[in-house]
Amino acid sequence: MSAAAPAATDPVEPLDVDLVKRSQAGDTRAFDLLVTRYRSRIYAMTYHLVQNETEAWDLAQEAFIKAWRALPNFKLDAAFYTWLYRIAHNVTYDWLRKKKIQGDGEFDDERTEHRAMPGSRTAPQGFDAPDRAMKRQELGKRIQDAIARLSPDHRQAIVLREIEGLSYEEIAEVMKCSLGTIMSRLFYARKKLQEMLKDTYENPV
Amino acid sequence: MKTPSDENHDLIRWLDGEMTPAERSAFEATLKNDPELAAEAESMRQLSENLKAHLPAEMPVPHADFFNSQIQVRIAQMEADEAREGRKSAESTAAWLSWLRMPWLAGAAAAAFAVAGLVWMQTSPTGGASTIASTYTPNPAVHAQVFHSTEAGATVLMLDGLEPIPAEKKVAGFRVHHAESDAGVATTTLFDENGVVLAVVALNALGQPQVLK
């Protein structure tokens, strides 16, 4: 899965596989290192999906707790992050589904603005002039708002594709629907985003 | 003939790099002859770039230290609950198990280093999987966690909250194979798998387990 994050490459940093084995033996400090290593990615994923800081924080934490419980069954046949990512996605997906069943379609309350972490994979590179930086920031905020206004299914498809870089097959597997449905969701999600952000393209940054 | 849905799918498959080289060439030829479709494709490509640039794959977790510590607390609580459940279950199936809440280190309690007791109950006399039936820490500030690996043939006991143990103190444990209670003298004798007596336990006047031998 493309969601695999690079494991620690610094020779001083313990490898994921070693930390996982220690965690499986009950070493909670090793697990704490894994939490520290992946919390930013897992939190970003949950945040993009639920668009609420508090809920995203809780869901990310729930994902790590579930991972700890499931660790004895993890056979190390996949990258730890790929495995963790699936758990986090399932936790968030279940939450979104419950939210949908309860008829609570609002996801944009208590939303707060975030900025990319310095050095993160998608963080803008280089330095911008102040007016340009401000425009970028405004665009970022508008994109976040637009994403928040998508339906959960459309938002999920976009996040999995654009941020996590999953293939259509992987998205279909994660979202448990057909390839055709995934393509339709991606198409209509993008059309809606285009509509919401159309003046961005008329006055590009 | 392609339906509008097929055309939409072609557009995003091209955008997402999900086409085969042949499909890609054919679609790009179509784009050259269809300015409206080409404009739509360009607009979607820009959108995709903007999404990638403005939706970070990593975000700083608010109160990150608290995030980690809460996970540790929840894991500890979960395991304590499970241990308690296991203990309740064991107690309900055999009343004499309550006798086995004994200090792990004979005499160590008196030395203020007494830490924890463990009781394994084998599922069959011939070996096989073992179950940790009970843990007991005389000092409530000490939290015991036990991890057993059948595959490794090893058990690890972790004690949190324990004072440093001097090097000359030896920490040892034993594996209980079975126990026999003697109602006449109100004691329980613990045996290892070879039938050797490991310890004789009785309750003292305060109802606390005490190792007699």
Size of interface A-B (CB pairs under 8 A): 141
Can you tell me the distance from the alpha carbon of A185 to that of A157, in angstroms, rounded to the nearest whole number?
7
Query: What CATH class is the domain A1-106?
Result: mainly alpha
Tell me the chain B residues in contact with residue A138 when contact means C-beta distances shorter than 8 Å: none
Instruction: List, for chain A, all residue ranges whose pLDDT scores fall below the cut of 50.
Output: 105-127, 205
pLDDT value at position B27?
A: 92
Nearest to A189 by CA among B55, B86, B29, B61: B55
CB contact (8 A) between residue A116 and residue B59: yes
Q: Looking at chain B, which residue has its C-alpha nearest residue A25?
A: B147
pTM equals 0.57
Q: Find the mean pLDDT for residues B190-195.
A: 79
Tokens of A93: 């997906």
Tell me the chain B residues in contact with residue A180 when contact means C-beta distances shorter than 8 Å: 5, 9
Are B173 and B97 contained in the same domain? yes
Q: How far is CA B91 from the centre of its chain?
A: 23
Tell me the chain A residues in contact with residue B64 when contact means C-beta distances shorter than 8 Å: 36, 39
Any residues with CB less than 8 A from the CB of B105 and at least 6 apart, and which? Answer: B113, B114, B115, B171, B172
B73 located within any domain = no
Can you tell me the distance from the alpha carbon of B112 to that of B130, in angstroms, rounded to the nearest whole number?
30
Are B97 and B188 contained in the same domain? yes
Secondary structure of residue A4 in the 3-state scheme: coil
Mutation for testing the A interface, residue in B2, B9, B42, B47 having most A CBs under 10 Å: B47
- State the complex-level ipTM: 0.73
Q: Which fold has domain A128-200?
A: Arc Repressor Mutant, subunit A (1.10.10)
Q: Which pLDDT tens digit goes with each residue over B116-171?
A: 444 444 433 444 445 555 566 666 777 777 776 766 766 677 777 777 665 555 55
Neighbours of A103 (CB within 10 A): 6
Question: Which of B16, B46, B54 shows the shortest C-beta gap to A201?
Answer: B46
pLDDT band at B59; cut points 50, 70, 90: very high
Segments making up each domain of chain A, as ranges: 1-106, 128-200
pLDDT value at position A184?
A: 93
Are B108 and B200 contained in the same domain? yes
- The burial of A6, by beta-carbon neighbours within 10 Å (0-12 exposed, 13-18 middle, 19 or more buried), is given as exposed
Q: Over chain B, what is the mean pLDDT?
A: 71
Number of domains in chain B: 2
Is the pLDDT at B94 greater than 50, yes or no? no
Are B115 and B46 contained in the same domain? no
Label residues A109-131 b or e (16+ Cβ within 10 Å = b): eebeebebbeebebeeeeeeeee
Nearest to A4 by CA among A86, A119, A117: A86
pLDDT value at position A144?
A: 87
Is the pLDDT at B201 greater than 80, yes or no? no
Q: In the 8-state DSSP scheme, what is residue A123? A: S
Are B125 and B40 contained in the same domain? no
Tell me the chain B residues in contact with residue A47 when contact means C-beta distances shorter than 8 Å: 59
Can you tell me the distance from the alpha carbon of B111 to that of B105, in angstroms, rounded to the nearest whole number?
10
pLDDT value at position A164?
A: 84
DSSP string for residues in chain B? ---HHHHHHHHHHHHTT-S-HHHHHHHHHHHHH-HHHHHHHHHHHHHHHHHHHHS-S--PPTTHHHHHHHHHHHHHHHHHHHHHHHHHHHHHH-GGGGGG---SSTTTTTTT----EEEEEESSTT---EEEEEEE-SSTT-EEEEEEETTTTEEEEEEETPPPPPTTS--------EEEEETTTTEEEEE-TTS-EEEEEEE-TTS-EEE--
CB contact (8 A) between residue A116 and residue B67: no
Are B49 and B103 contained in the same domain? no
Question: Which residues does residue B117 pair with via DSSP β-bridges, in sequence order?
Answer: B136
Are B105 and B38 contained in the same domain? no
Percentage of chain B exceeding pLDDT 90? 23
Are B189 and B139 contained in the same domain? yes
Are B43 and B94 contained in the same domain? no
pLDDT band at B52; cut points 50, 70, 90: confident
Say yes or no: do domains A1-106 and A128-200 share a fold.
Answer: no
Q: What is the torsion angle, in degrees rounded to the nearest 10, for the CA atoms of residue A155, residue A157, residue A161 and residue A167?
A: 170
Cα separation values, B17 from A121, B11, B27, Å: 20, 10, 12
Residue B43's domain comprises 4-54
